[in-house]
């Protein structure tokens, strides 16, 4: 088991190292311009030199993504409960849900900015909009796919509708809710960055844009890498939350 | 075990009269699963419903348990028409149907929890039944950590923890290997002695039916009628040796004839 843990860590690191080595040698050998493709060493150096700035700009993006994601959970899960348990609401809401989802978020971002301004609220709203859909769809699917045997058991024991939901349907849907949340949390970061691209005064997306405009390739790439690290860390946070909420999943190992 | 000195005990605990069950189908005639089943269930007895697969035994059990309404006929348990699951019923299914998110003891406590009985005494009772089936020490395990046979034992505990008067079992040992199955049969007989519950047991195994039962209701192929009603006069406690006795084999033969397997 310990060996498996180590392998889980080592192989991704080896993969990263190989990419960096190839990238670095390519940049060195062919004298690629730093503006076009800075080498990993350039990016690392820029990260270190601008550490304070990057950290400062990470905070708004982090805040927007996490709050947008949290809002998507708070609104998405109850909505999924309604959609999964009522045919009427399902018919009424599902087409609208899908319609809103097929609108490109980049296209509505300017409108949202008009509504909420250049501050964090507009990014939070866009992060919420992109994170919302996978949570509703996966949760609703999970709530509908309660194992029939457990439903039968509940019925045979005269469980009330409330008990059936709270003690059978909802816990059975947890794996689905978490798989939706994992997708949603990475999408939330993307949503926040879209918002920052369209109009903002801070955040990693904003930093990326301005560094790019100043032809500061290494800093733009550093912002990009910090963004992806932020996404990975938030994803890991959801995985850890899942392990805490669902301890039985790993129990058989 | 019958008539334990009380005055109101009727000779019959359950009555099934001309039970018929048909399912509506789109664009086809109704599917008649059960044509006509009548028999009496004496209190404290173990009666097996034996029949080929797809003959309506499970449907019949669901009807008796109040999970399904009859198309026509009469279903009475303890003198009252069965229209919905009763608090005095316990059910065990083909699959253990354990909740993966609950520990073993909390799975057993599920029926009590639904009645808002969660005191220490109730917890102790759950531990006691788990001990009875040999699962002492596994109380805090999750179902995924148990073998199929152990899971079915937990399901058995859950079916009896609320001390039901009628235990309805739908091929609960069907998915187990032969040895585990025989162990579980002995366990069921022991539980029956301890609880005094009346048991209806669905199976498609002739030897299982003979080994366990006071009486066997043999179902015909669909649409089901009673192909034979066999009293099993073998003495309890039943032992493995009994399976090879002449009386046992001749009962097996009779059930086989009713099923159209042997002549």
Query: Per the CB < 8 Å rule, is B85 touching A155?
Result: yes
CB-CB neighbours of A252 under 10 Å: 12
Q: Is residue B237 part of a domain?
A: yes
Interface of B with A (CB under 8 A): 65-67, 84-85, 87, 89, 91, 93, 95, 97, 99-101, 110-111, 113-114, 141-142, 144-145
Cis peptide before A156 (omega within 30 of 0): no
Nearest beta carbon to residue B101 from set A153, A171, A252: A171
Residue B238 CB neighbours (<10 A): 18
Domain boundary among B144, B163, B182: B163
The pLDDT of residue A145 is 93
CA atoms A33, A37, A42, A43: torsion sign? positive
Same domain as B122, residue B212: no
Question: Could you give the CA distance from residue B81 to residue B94 in angstroms, rounded to a whole number?
Answer: 26
Last residue of a domain, one of B130, B163, B196: B163
CA–CA min distance B111, chain A (Å) = 6
d(CA B128, CA B188): 15
Per-residue pLDDT of chain B (263 residues; tens, 9 = 90+): 443 444 444 578 999 999 999 998 888 888 899 999 999 999 999 999 999 988 899 999 999 999 999 999 999 998 899 999 999 999 999 999 999 999 999 999 999 999 999 899 999 999 999 998 899 999 999 999 999 999 999 999 999 999 999 999 999 998 888 998 999 999 999 999 989 999 999 999 999 999 999 999 999 998 999 999 999 999 989 998 999 999 999 999 999 999 988 77
Q: Report pLDDT for A45.
A: 93
Between chains, do A251 and B91 touch, taking CB under 8 Å as contact? no
Residue B2 pLDDT:
42
The domain tally of chain B equals: 2
Q: Is residue B62 located within the same domain as residue B132? A: no
Residue B1 lies in a domain: no
Same domain, B184 and B141: no
Same domain, B251 and B227: yes
Whichever domain contains B173, its CATH number is 3.40.50.300
pLDDT (tens digit, 9 = 90+) per residue, A93-126? Answer: 888 888 888 888 888 899 999 999 888 899 999 9
Test mutation, B59, B64, B84, B99, chain A, max A CBs within 10 A: B99
Q: Which residue of A lies nearest to B109 if distances are taken between CA atoms?
A: A157
Residue B39 lies in a domain: yes
Decide which of B114, B141, B163 is a domain's last residue: B163
Q: Which residues of B touch A159 (CB under 8 A)?
A: 114
Q: Are residues B225 and B244 in the same domain?
A: yes
DSSP bridge partners of B167: B90, B199
- Judgement on whether residues B143 and B63 belong to the same structural domain of the protein: no
Q: What is the pLDDT of residue B176?
A: 86
Q: Tens digits of per-residue pLDDT, A11-49?
A: 989 999 999 999 999 998 998 888 888 999 999 999 999
- The ipTM of this complex is 0.87
Q: Is residue B24 part of a domain?
A: yes
Report the residue of A153, A154, A167 to disrupt the B interface, i.e. the one with the largest count of B CBs within 10 Å: A153
CB contact under 8 A, B114 and A156: no
Residue B19 has what pLDDT? 94
pLDDT at residue number A63 = 96
Domain of residue B155, residue span: 99-163
Task: Mark whether B154 and B250 lie in a shared domain.
Answer: no
CB B244 within 8 A of CB B81: no
Residues of chain B with Cβ-Cβ distance to A172 below 8 Å are 99, 101
Q: According to the model, what pLDDT value does residue B8 have?
A: 46
State mean pLDDT over A126-134.
94
Distance CA A10, CA A5 (A): 9
Inspect the interface and report whether the beta carbons of A149 and B97 lie closer than 8 Å. yes
B259 CA: distance to closest CA in chain A (Å) = 29
Same domain, yes or no: B139 and B212: no
**Residue B107 placed within a domain:** yes
Domain for residue B31, yes or no? yes
CB pairs under 8 A between A and B: 54
Distance from CA of A159 to the nearest CA of B (A): 6
Helix (H) or strand (E) holding B91: strand B89-92
How does A100-115 read in b/e, with b if 16+ C-beta sit within 10 Å?
Answer: eeeeebeebbeebbee
Q: What does the pLDDT average to over A123-139?
A: 94
What is the secondary structure of B144-200 as a DSSP string?
Answer: GGS-HHHHHHHHHHHHHTT--SEEEEESTTTTS-HHHHHHHHHHHHHHHHHH--EEE
Residue A25's region, left for phi above 0, alpha for psi from -120 to 50, else beta, is alpha
B88-125 as b/e, with b when 16 or more CB fall inside 10 Å? ebbbbbbbbbbbbbbbbbbbbbbbbbbeeeeeeebbeb
Do B140 and B169 lie in one domain? The reply is no
Read off the pLDDT of residues A50-94 as tens digits, 9 standing for 90 and up.
999 999 999 999 999 999 999 999 999 999 999 998 889 889 988
CA distance B258 to chain A (A): 31
Examine the domain organization and report whether B173 and B242 are in the same domain. Answer: yes
The closest alpha carbon to A127, from A236, A205, A53, belongs to: A205
Q: Is there a contact between A65 and A190 (Cβ–Cβ < 8 Å)?
A: no
In a domain, B93, yes or no: no
Domain assignment of residue B81, yes or no: yes
Paired strand residues for B31 = B23
B109 and B179, same domain (yes or no)? no
Q: Are residues B82 and B179 located together in one domain of the fold? A: yes
Return the residue matching tokens 């073993």.
B104
Q: Would you place residue A253 in the very low, low, confident or very high pLDDT band (cuts 50, 70, 90)?
A: very low
Which pLDDT score, from 0 to 100, does residue A97 have?
85
Mean pLDDT of chain A: 92
Average pLDDT over residues A184-188: 95
């Amino acid at each position: 088991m310990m060996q498996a843990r180590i392998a889980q860590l080592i192989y991704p690191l080896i993969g990263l190292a190989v990419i960096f080595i190839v990238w670095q040698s390519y940049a060195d050998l062919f004298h690629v311009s730093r503006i076009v493709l800075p080498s990993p060493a350039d990016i690392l150096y820029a990260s270190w030199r601008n550490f304070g700035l990057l950290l400062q700009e990470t905070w708004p993006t982090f805040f927007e993504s996490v709050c947008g994601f949290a809002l998507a959970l708070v609104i998405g899960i109850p909505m999924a409960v309604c959609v999964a348990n009522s045919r009427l609401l399902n018919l009424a809401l599902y087409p609208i849900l899908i319609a809103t989802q097929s609108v490109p978020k980049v296209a509505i971002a300017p409108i949202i900015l008009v509504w909420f301004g250049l501050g964090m609220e507009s990014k939070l709203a866009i992060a919420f909009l992109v994170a919302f859909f996978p949570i509703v769809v996966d949760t609703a699917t999970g709530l509908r796919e309660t194992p029939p045997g457990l439903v039968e058991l509940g019925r045979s024991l005269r469980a009330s509708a409330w008990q059936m939901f709270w003690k059978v349907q909802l816990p059975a849907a947890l794996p689905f809710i978490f798989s939706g949340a994992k997708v949603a949390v990475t999408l939330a970061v993307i949503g926040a960055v879209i918002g920052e691209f369209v109009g903002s005064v801070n955040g990693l997306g904003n930093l990326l844009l301005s560094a790019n405009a100043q032809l500061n390739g290494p800093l733009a790439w550093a912002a990009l890498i910090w963004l992806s690290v932020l996404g990975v860390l938030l994803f890991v946070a959801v995985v850890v939350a899942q392990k805490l909420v669902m301890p039985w999943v790993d129990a058989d190992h | 075990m019958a008539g334990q000195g009380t005055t109101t005990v009727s000779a019959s605990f359950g009555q099934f009269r001309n039970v018929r069950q048909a399912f509506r189908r789109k664009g086809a005639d109704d599917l008649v699963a059960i044509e006509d089943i009548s028999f009496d269930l004496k209190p404290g007895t173990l009666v097996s419903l034996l029949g080929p697969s797809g003959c309506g035994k499970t449907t019949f059990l669901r009807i008796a348990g109040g999970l399904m309404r009859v198309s026509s006929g009469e279903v009475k348990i303890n003198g009252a028409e069965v229209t919905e699951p009763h608090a005095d019923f316990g059910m065990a299914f083909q699959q253990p149907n354990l909740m993966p998110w609950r520990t073993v003891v909390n799975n057993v406590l599920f029926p009590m929890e639904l009645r808002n009985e969660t005191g220490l005494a109730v917890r102790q009772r759950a531990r006691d039944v788990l001990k009875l089936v040999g699962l002492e020490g596994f109380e805090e395990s999750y179902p995924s950590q148990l073998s199929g046979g152990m899971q079915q034992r937990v399901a058995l505990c859950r079916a009896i923890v609320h001390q039901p008067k009628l235990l309805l079992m739908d091929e609960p040992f069907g998915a187990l290997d032969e040895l585990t199955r025989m162990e579980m049969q002995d366990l069921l007989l022991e539980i029956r002695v301890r609880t005094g519950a009346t048991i209806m047991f669905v199976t498609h195994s002739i030897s299982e039916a003979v080994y366990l039962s006071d009486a066997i209701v043999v179902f015909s192929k669909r649409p089901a009628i009673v192909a034979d009603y066999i009293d099993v006069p073998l003495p309890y406690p039943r032992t493995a040796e009994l399976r090879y006795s002449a009386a046992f084999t001749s009962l097996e033969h009779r059930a086989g004839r009713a099923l159209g397997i042997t002549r």
